[in-house]
Amino acid sequence: MFELSDPAADFAVHESAHLPHWYQPGAACFITFRTADSIPADISRRWHASRVDWMQRHGIFLNQPNWKDRFAELPTHIRREYHDRFSKQFLDNLDRGWGNCVLKRGVLAKHVADALLHFDAQRYHLGDYIVMPNHVHLIASFIGDTELEKQCYSWKKFSARGINRELGVRGRFWQEESFDHLIRSPEQFAAIVRYIRCNPQHLKAGDFLLSPPK
């Protein structure tokens, strides 16, 4: 069901305001999205400042209109170094458990799982996933012309509607950005599955929703 990313094959990189998004048709991808309050503003500012510093040290200035082209010209291993470095910081911050962590409530976590499962095997193949108190991890590969970013937006829009209704509130529930990482080897695939399944080890039963074993 899941193909691995081929470093010798073509892949696309879409640069959004904060994170790069790697895409290769059919390749398995590790995806994370988080609640809007999951990382405090001062931590987020420091993360972004570190990112700007890294870019400038590689001759890329985000206030220039061609910065995305300059980034795309960097060697593949440098771009992946960037991805690996800032992704690790991103995930470490999530695991600190900031925010209201409302997804501990099973009825709210189920809205997320229902969204993930809705188009499984139609628009994408869904692998392991977990709904944590303030974020979601999953493995997926996309079918045909399904676009990763548009599908992430759909998952978040569908689930946020039900969650906000349950909470009796309005407004943004999810952070706009999602994190994604192409899986490049069987060892990495196995490590990510372990990461997903071990992610809630510090939580008590009922405070997370883990996909059934494959």
Least confident range of 22-26, 92-96, 100-104: 22-26
For residue 208, give the nearest of 128, 151, 147, 154 by alpha carbon: 128
- Return the higher-pLDDT residue of 14 and 159: 159
**Across 45-63, average pLDDT:** 86
pLDDT of 23 above 70: no
Residue 175 per-residue DSSP state:
-
Q: How far apart are CA 120 and CA 47, in angstroms?
A: 33
Tell me if 71 sits within 8 A of 57, measured CB to CB: no
What one-letter code names the amino acid at 78? Answer: I
* pLDDT at residue number 16: 46
* pLDDT at residue number 192: 92
Alpha carbon 93 to chain centroid distance? 13
- Order the strands of the 135-142 sheet from edge to edge: 179-182, 29-34, 135-142, 124-131, 209-210
Least confident range of 20-24, 27-31, 84-88: 20-24
List the CATH code of the domain at 12-39+101-210: 3.30.70.1290
Q: How far apart are CA 28 and CA 106, in angstroms?
A: 28
Pair of tokens at residue 39: 């990382």
pTM for this prediction: 0.75
* pLDDT at residue number 24: 60
Residue carrying structure tokens 């800032």: 86
DSSP assignment of 57-83: HTT--TTSTTHHHHHHTS-HHHHHHHH
* pLDDT at residue number 180: 84
* pLDDT at residue number 41: 73
Q: How confident is the model at residue 22 (pLDDT cuts 50, 70, 90)?
A: low
Q: CB burial class (10 A; 0-12, 13-18, 19+) of residue 181? A: buried
pLDDT of 74 above 50: yes
**Beta bridge mates, 142:** 124
Sign of CA dihedral 62, 92, 30, 155: negative
**Across 101-126, average pLDDT:** 97
